[in-house]
Chains A and B, each alone.
Chain A
């Protein structure tokens, strides 16, 4: 615990800023409701998002355990779930199983990973890290949180519909999702699902607009673009991705709703006979949905990853007491991933029957996206190289991020290679791959991020031993659950099968599936440690000062927790965010806060930075 210093305040010293420490008190009193419920304060909104997504993580996890139960013990009655839902004998029916994985994925993607990164961390960190007092549009920001609830409501509604739940997979390919007769879950549940998707989209869009505006306009004096922490860069690029990709998904969603309830035929070709219903009339094309859907959802996997990459970069630099290795290449590779992210969507459709020439184009672009990813991994290693590493919960989660992202990235090359993808597409290899990226990488980054910024949120530290135990169990459970999925995929086990053991060539995989389920249960229960640690530390955690990690960023010069309006001293940025262990660091410390004016070269343009026109405190 050597890096925890409550003397940071004294070191950093208010005298460092000789000026006005009182000029912007936000003295207006607020009622409980406007302070904690309908708050326009970005920090409260961020924490609201964080708590909501952690709860949704538990919901999504429970649904996943349902899936895993069925794969380990097909058709055997399931404890707990069996009694919660009106299922005969507590058994999971194939119908229910389909709903389970559909809603598991939906919850995890739309209600956990996207909102935890952009919603929780984006909201909490952006103004603090760039030295602003709030977001550019605080009311819009509040709405972006509150639009999560209609989304949760709509997704919740699907559970109450006939056939309990949307069951078209989270990708909802038509015609399964377009024709109500196609499956028990394709009725009103699917319509609710699409409405839920739209609300999530609206929420993200509000965030995206806010982040772009805030980052462009509200940086503290001296915070030039290339003095921004990588977290901010990644949030900025993610916001741009969202702004360009989301409208496409929203439009596609409306088209599908129109197909379902207005009788249009965007996705429905003529002459389709489902369940002995009348043949359809119309000239639609189901592949159109796939193109539109993946045009959003492929960039979306980067929306689910880039912010975590940025956060991990900042945390690694701090925990290794080193500058980021290759800051500019890190920025450029973020941008390259985002740019390439837009032209690779077709790799989800290699077996779909689209033009084979497109297959080749998409293969080359997809494989090339591994390049900026590789650059990032090497730079993270470079950052740790020669460091003075503090092995705390934050570092462990970040190292796991790098290691798991490596596995997820390498398995991606198999799928990017079209001929190989012919075989492994829609097998468990895919499931292994995206869990390594989404859970193994992103979620470990999030766990690290929660531990790292918790002191700023609540003025207290999370419990280290519990944090380490949570990491240890999660890491073991995670690899036990998901690594074998690669092997299942190679063995040809298709995904979304309620009972793969119907097939002779898959029968012998049952014990392996049972092992994975035990690992998943272990991992699921480990999450209670996180939840408990989080909730209890808010009240009982060790108190800490402004800068418990001896970090450099602007956010650490604000009080913990920061009051409304964030900074008691308007921050001015004097240098980049990664000057750890600089030979000229102020005496007796190995960090050099961005706000610390000591030792700066006296150049007249120093303050102007590039953004002098936009002081944070107006």
Chain B
């Protein structure tokens, strides 16, 4: 029975490892560019985040297996044989070891510090404005306003020559609107201004590994880049009320050349008053 319990505890690392190995096969792994769970992030920054994840995964897996094996070892070797009457078996008497203590403080400290410092760079390029890519510095392409329970998108619209205007902080007559449908160019960094009209929400593009809370009263710039054209899921990751789960929207990325036609199309739809066309018929 005692041996049973040692094996029982050793099942944990075995099953944990097994499930992590089979998981990608069942699609229980990262969503990515080639459909659900193909595992590869659909953006360059997302892939750097994945790499960091895998690096930590390797370090923690080694630690996990090592410590679990050590646990199994100490349990196994510590199994107490049933006492013969009156004979007290004593355990190894030790109050610890200073050398071991020093070793197992310094080694993890070094590893942990390495993990922390190694992350800085990616964090800086994701969030520190001066580290944003050149193309998006102060050039938001749309304003995304979260609202219970939808995403409202405001584009700056086009001038008479068909060029995209700069996005103004306040709504302009030329602005174009869409709901739950964000279109931006693929293959280049793009930036949006994120706002919320009511409670807190969070802008989450799982395939691109982008997440940013929308905080009442703040305008937060968020940049990302979809490598390939396609449709990505956009959802809300911060509890915002009963309809939190249904803030479903899409982010459509397509080549830059198709972006202006999309805005033109939007302009046409929005200025359509139902009269001129009827007259033309």
- Which residues does A use to contact B, with CB under 8 Å? 2, 93-95, 97-98, 167-169, 173-176, 179, 182-186, 268-275, 284-287, 320-327, 329, 351-353, 356-357, 359-360, 363-364, 367-368, 370-371, 374-375, 377-379, 381-382, 384-391, 396, 399-400, 402-403, 406-407, 410-411, 413-414, 416-420, 422-423, 425-427, 472, 475, 479, 483-484, 487-488, 490-492, 494, 496-500, 502-509, 512, 578, 580-583, 585, 588-590
Are B88 and A285 closer than 8 Å at their CB atoms? no
B residues less than 8 Å from A502 (CB atoms): 245-246, 248
Are A286 and B30 closer than 8 Å at their CB atoms? no
A residues less than 8 Å from B248 (CB atoms): 502-503
Contacting residue for B199 out of A175, A271, A492, CB 8 A: A175
Contacts A/B (CB < 8 Å), 25 sampled: A167-B241, A176-B240, A272-B216, A273-B197, A274-B199, A286-B215, A351-B213, A381-B74, A387-B91, A387-B92, A406-B64, A417-B115, A418-B119, A422-B49, A423-B53, A426-B204, A487-B23, A491-B29, A491-B36, A497-B245, A503-B235, A508-B37, A581-B93, A582-B93, A590-B90
Given contacts A175-B200, A377-B67, A422-B211, contact A382 B100 (CB under 8 A): yes
Which of A284, A391, A509 has the most chain B CB atoms inside 10 A of its CB?
A391
B residues less than 8 Å from A168 (CB atoms): 239
B127 proximal to A (CB < 8 A): yes
Q: How far is the CA of A414 from the CA of B70 in the complex (A)?
A: 23
A156 nearest CB across to chain B (Å)? 21
What 0/1 pattern do residues 210 to 240 of B give for CB contact below 8 A with A? 1111011110100000000000010111111
Q: How far is the CA of A483 from the CA of B14 in the complex (A)?
A: 13
B1 proximal to A (CB < 8 A): yes
Q: How far is the CA of A314 from the CA of B2 in the complex (A)?
A: 21
A residues less than 8 Å from B241 (CB atoms): 98, 167, 176, 182-183, 186
Q: How far is the CA of A417 from the CA of B118 in the complex (A)?
A: 9
Q: How far is the CA of A585 from the CA of B36 in the complex (A)?
A: 64
Q: How far is the CA of A370 from the CA of B105 in the complex (A)?
A: 10
Q: How far is the CA of A420 from the CA of B126 in the complex (A)?
A: 11
Extra inter-chain contacts (8) besides given A422-B126, A422-B211, CB under 8 Å? A98-B239, A174-B199, A182-B198, A182-B199, A353-B212, A385-B77, A385-B78, A479-B12
Are B245 and A499 closer than 8 Å at their CB atoms? yes
At the interface with chain A, which of B79-87, B177-185, B265-273? Answer: B79-87
Are B29 and A323 closer than 8 Å at their CB atoms? no
B52 proximal to A (CB < 8 A): yes
B residues less than 8 Å from A274 (CB atoms): 148, 198-199
Are A590 and B89 closer than 8 Å at their CB atoms? yes
Are B78 and A351 closer than 8 Å at their CB atoms? no
Using a CB-CB cutoff of 8 Å, which residues 1-55 of chain B contact chain A? 1-2, 5, 8-9, 12, 15-16, 19-20, 23, 26-31, 35-37, 46, 48-49, 52-53
Contacting residue for A176 out of B56, B63, B92, B239, CB 8 A: B239
Q: How far is the CA of A344 from the CA of B8 in the complex (A)?
A: 36
B95 proximal to A (CB < 8 A): yes
B residues less than 8 Å from A357 (CB atoms): 128
Contacting residue for A505 out of B88, B200, B206, CB 8 A: B206
- Which residues does B use to contact A, with CB under 8 Å? 1-2, 5, 8-9, 12, 15-16, 19-20, 23, 26-31, 35-37, 46, 48-49, 52-53, 56-57, 59-60, 63-64, 67-68, 70-71, 74-75, 77-80, 82-83, 86, 88-97, 100-101, 104-105, 108-109, 112-113, 115-117, 119-120, 122-124, 126-128, 148, 197-200, 202, 204, 206-207, 209-213, 215-218, 220, 233, 235-246, 248
Are B31 and A505 closer than 8 Å at their CB atoms? yes
A157 nearest CB across to chain B (Å)? 20
From A289, which residue of chain B is reached at the shortest CB distance? B200
Q: How far is the CA of A360 from the CA of B121 in the complex (A)?
A: 10
From B84, which residue of chain A is reached at the shortest CB distance? A2
From A588, which residue of chain B is reached at the shortest CB distance? B88
Q: How far is the CA of A603 from the CA of B111 in the complex (A)?
A: 46
Are B108 and A374 closer than 8 Å at their CB atoms? yes
From B12, which residue of chain A is reached at the shortest CB distance? A403
Q: How far is the CA of A19 from the CA of B10 in the complex (A)?
A: 51
Are A323 and B74 closer than 8 Å at their CB atoms? no
Given contacts A287-B215, A384-B75, A423-B49, contact A356 B239 (CB under 8 A): no
Are A95 and B93 closer than 8 Å at their CB atoms? no
Given contacts A386-B78, A425-B237, A497-B244, contact A420 B52 (CB under 8 A): yes
Are A403 and B242 closer than 8 Å at their CB atoms? no
Are A320 and B215 closer than 8 Å at their CB atoms? no
Are B198 and A386 closer than 8 Å at their CB atoms? no
Q: Can you list the 10 inter-chain pairs with the closest CB atoms, starting with the nearest?
A: A269-B217, A386-B92, A326-B96, A492-B206, A389-B78, A356-B127, A505-B36, A183-B241, A497-B245, A581-B90
B residues less than 8 Å from A422 (CB atoms): 49, 126, 209-211
Contacting residue for B92 out of A322, A406, A491, CB 8 A: A322
A residues less than 8 Å from B218 (CB atoms): 287, 353
Given contacts A399-B75, A508-B36, contact A413 B206 (CB under 8 A): no
Given contacts A403-B9, A422-B210, A479-B15, contact A490 B29 (CB under 8 A): yes
Contacting residue for B197 out of A272, A286, A360, A382, CB 8 A: A272
B164 nearest CB across to chain A (Å)? 27
Are B104 and A494 closer than 8 Å at their CB atoms? no
Given contacts A175-B199, A496-B244, contact A581 B104 (CB under 8 A): no
From B3, which residue of chain A is reached at the shortest CB distance? A391
Are B96 and A509 closer than 8 Å at their CB atoms? no
A residues less than 8 Å from B124 (CB atoms): 356, 360
B residues less than 8 Å from A325 (CB atoms): 94-97
Given contacts A329-B101, A504-B36, A505-B233, contact A364 B75 (CB under 8 A): no
Given contacts A327-B95, A410-B64, contact A270 B217 (CB under 8 A): yes
